[in-house]
Amino acid sequence: MPSRPPPATLFTDPAYIAALEDSGCATPETGWTPRHVETGAGRVWCYEKSHSWGEFVFDFEIARVYRQMGLRYYPKQVACVPFTPVPGPRLLAADDAGRRALGATLREQAGRAGSGAHVLFLPREELALLAADGWIGRAQPRYVWHADGAADFDTFLARLPGKKRKNIRAERRKLTELTIEWRSGAELSDTEWPQVYALYAGTYAQRGQEPYLNLDCLRRWADAFGVRMSFCLARHGPRLLAMAFFFEDGDTLYGRHWGAAMPVDALHFELCYYQGIERCLARGLPHFDAGVQGEHKLARGFAAELAYSAHWFAHDGLHDAIGRAFTDERQRLEHWVAAQQGQGA
């Protein structure tokens, strides 16, 4: 698989962050207190967290160990983009010296109040810099589609083993009665926006959760990024049945969220995966990041890769113990990814 630092600069654009905060999605009231680091070296988007939701690097077991030991895990300092598990630059500085200085400032800030500091979904190059200063690294699976020279969907399918090709074609045939179209946020009407948002929120309601994002945030993103934020809509007759929305950044399409008004067999795969692949092929985008989690993506032409995070715990003993556990976890995942790539999964 291609080795490249993921750009994803759209997600650290001040307009993206401002939409999250100004809309009320990432605020002290929701457990995200801004503690952004801005120095002469550069900037880090950072939050003081009173919980671990919306990060997608799961540390609930670590929080439980802290509780059992009579220690406080929260608050903690988390350098990340809220609700956005997309790898990309986190230490926003001009050079490595500046990035290391930002890392040192994060540790100092975390040491004054909290159990530690965490930098999530950072490039391997930034992880290496922080590791040299005592941070510990962690890995988790992610799934990315690569065009690898495919000119159209049939060419992409031809590369897959026969069983996968047959399955994908069968899934797509189930949805021939639906009308599917792509629209930018600017093209959605005032009537359609609440419908689209209701579909997104319904995905969380099915799990008994409140949605992380509100309608105001989505509309702010659409205003800020124009055609770089797109919606894939599925209709049955005049009825809006499902939607998925995406961002385009550099050479990559990023799948974000989806929602459907009712269960329809294979509709999730169509809107979230196959339509995204066709979008990339039509627009000449060589990569499609469909997000972390979901091993079922391997059966649909995606490749297993690793996403990385860096961690520093103020408690020396726990820092060392957690570091050993993360090393074991990462080595297992590296072997698993290598095996998947060797199988052509």
The CA distance from 53 to 98, in Å, is: 30
Closest among 344, 9, 327 to 146, alpha carbons compared: 344
CA distances from 249 to 36, 141, 244 (A): 23, 21, 17
Give the per-residue pLDDT at 344.
Answer: 58
pTM for this predicted structure? 0.94
**Can you give the pLDDT of all 345 residues of the chain as single tens digits?**
334 444 568 999 999 999 999 999 999 999 999 999 999 999 999 999 999 999 999 999 999 999 999 999 999 999 999 999 999 999 999 999 999 999 999 999 999 878 999 999 999 999 999 999 999 999 999 999 999 999 999 999 999 999 999 999 999 999 999 999 999 999 999 999 999 999 999 999 999 999 999 999 999 999 999 999 999 999 999 999 999 999 999 999 999 999 999 999 999 999 999 999 999 999 999 999 988 888 999 999 999 999 999 999 999 999 999 999 999 999 999 999 999 887 754
Is the CA virtual torsion 240, 243, 247, 251 positive or negative?
negative
The CA distance from 120 to 87, in Å, is: 8
Give the per-residue pLDDT at 250.
Answer: 93
* End-to-end Cα distance, the chain: 11
Which residues are paired to 244 by β-bridges?
A: 232, 258
Classify 289 as helix, strand or coil: strand
Helices (H), 45-87: 60-68
CB atoms within 10 A of CB 158: 10
Give the per-residue pLDDT at 222.
Answer: 97
The helix or strand, by DSSP H or E, that contains position 169, with its residue range, turns out to be helix 162-173
Give the per-residue pLDDT at 3.
Answer: 42
- The tokens for 50 are 């009173």
